[in-house]
Structure 1
Amino acid sequence: MRVTEDGRGLQGSVAPTPPLQAVVWATGYGPAFDWIQVPVFDAAGEPRHQRGLTEAPGLAFLGLPWLHTRSSALMGGAGPDARYVVEALLKRT
């Protein structure tokens, strides 16, 4: 997946998405970032972020270990992180 030519959506393998204001990538059981072609990763392939927010407008991550607290990668810890990320994205867009 990559950003569309107009920079307003994502190009999937079949079709582009409608224009987007934000994307939140929740990693689930194991991270797989190879399909994301946006320059927000460090040399080790890990997302560069601050509390889940990347330098790419509207692109954020959830479920990463130590996103903000020890429980960030656990189901019970995702709620506070998600709340913070969504509120921050709404302020940015």
Structure 2
Amino acid sequence: MQGVSELLATTNVEELGDLFPTISEWRHIKELAKVLEPMYEATNLLSSSKNPTQGDIRLVLMECLKNWIIIKEEITIHKRQ
């Protein structure tokens, strides 16, 4: 395996091409980001509070669940097309 500096200095585009995600992989990454974004926001919200209450946690988890259901429906619709 080449070192990073050697790889960056290469003029052979084909060598670099294997390192980049394919179109299909980019689609998977995009779908994964949709799922992870609400979880990231929930983590930041709960982490910013010194003492998150059970009510806070419940509201955040309910929103995450709602987002997950919406995303799952979008994926199902997308697969049918």
Larger Rg: 2
The structure where strand makes up a greater share of residues is: 1
> What TM-score results when the alignment is normalised by the length of structure 1?
0.28
> TM-score, normalising length from structure 2?
0.31
